[in-house]
Amino acid sequence: MRTLWTRIGTMGTVALGSTLWSQKKTEAVRKDVESDKTSSTSDQSSSPYELKLVQVLFRHGARTPLKSIPDVLEAQWVPDLLEVPDHTKIDYVVKDLHGGPRPSAPVEDSYRASTLTGGTYPGQLTTVGMQQLYDLGLRLRRRYIQDVEFLSPSFSLKEVYIRSTNIVRTIESAKCLVAGLFQQQQTDTVLIYTEEAAREILYPNYHGCKLLKMLNGYRWAESATLPNIASDLQTIQAELGISPCQRLDFILIRDDMVARETHGMPYPSVLQNWKPVVEQRAVDMIYHIYEPSNRQTLQLCVGPVFHTLLTNMETKVNGIASDINRKLFLYSVHDTTLMPCLIALGVFDMRWPPYAADITLELYWHRQIKQHYVKVSYIGQDQKIPGCSDVYCPLEEFKQVLAMYALPKESYHDLCNHTQDVPIHCEST
């Protein structure tokens, strides 16, 4: 099969192209930011809604693929693709949640146990990905520093809390976003907090939650065997000349295709025709895995995250002295974080979240009504949450929406270990 595809040579030109692209993109975004500097500060001050707190969950930027499609045209994932632009560099330190040293990272170690063609590891943030997060930081800067004088123009630990999963691409993505948001201006060293893998709550943790693994593990295998998905997969494998015995699914195919396309790398022409199908089937699989009618499964995926977001808002509303100056929470996460969150919120658009996608929650105080409101946006677009009376959702209504899934950490860990009387499902082979 390998003889059917021409091998790609050294990808130095692609790396150079990515660097030039990122430089042009930076200049364009900066010009856009400058042009908007005189926008709506006066309009915001006259608004009855006063911004009190912002929380952003964002996906990391473009990366090398987690796995390559087997036995097809190989791409050269060379180290030049991971070059760090100077404008994304800041002074930062990674700590555990209690302020100790960064914990061990078995997930990252698993990536580094293998090497992609070209010499880099799977799942690594690329120059393009770094730029995407820097650009997201510029968008947040325009909104929260320039349009509204909400944040200080220089990073301050009193104002900003940063949390990331303990994986290099999310940690680096957080760093790049902060560089764009504050233009490398720092009052303090940036602290990025993370958690050990067994207790991570910022993604559906199949290794740390026994019950979730039992309830949902089989659905991953089952999703690839659903009639339409299985039929399309069989056809695409035949057209690519991949053995039916080779382990393959649409999520893996999509991951490799998107990574290649984002970095200007070719993939088999057969896949060009299949691109819409690959996108749709990958989403169909993930929607089956995070089935919204299965409340307990979705609760185990997003419960602690929702509880954390609610707790942050309640702390602000109640004016807890230790966090009185906290204005921004940043959470550097994954597509598998955003999708179940969007499903649980009732606003999933049946599209895979792109690199650097963000869910933003804004907490407001209405000056006339004397009441708090929450506004949710996804990739910069306001969302009307089912169960909320308007886009500006009264806080009590928003609490009711999240209450269906929100779960304190202690309750979450107790539930994760409660596996008695759970029906056993046999995985497909």
Catalytic positions: 60, 335
* Inter-residue contact 379 to 172 (CB < 8 Å): no
Contact by Cβ (8 Å): 65, 256: yes
**Whole-angstrom distance, CA of residue 426 vs CA of residue 221:** 10
**Using an 8 Å Cβ cutoff, are 195 and 96 in contact?**
yes
Q: Which two tokens stand for residue 278?
A: 């690959």
The three-point CA angle 362-368-373 to 5° equals 20
Q: 208: which residues sit within 8 A by CB, 6+ positions away?
A: 197, 198, 199, 200, 416
CA-to-CA distance for 169 and 149, rounded, in angstroms? 30
Separation in Å, CA 186 to CA 55, 96, 156, 182, 273: 20, 21, 7, 7, 48
Least Cα distance to 334 among 202, 178, 195, 197 occurs for 202
Spatial CB neighbours of 41, under 8 Å, sequence gap ≥ 6: 147, 148, 149
Sign of the Cα torsion 336, 80, 132, 349 reads negative
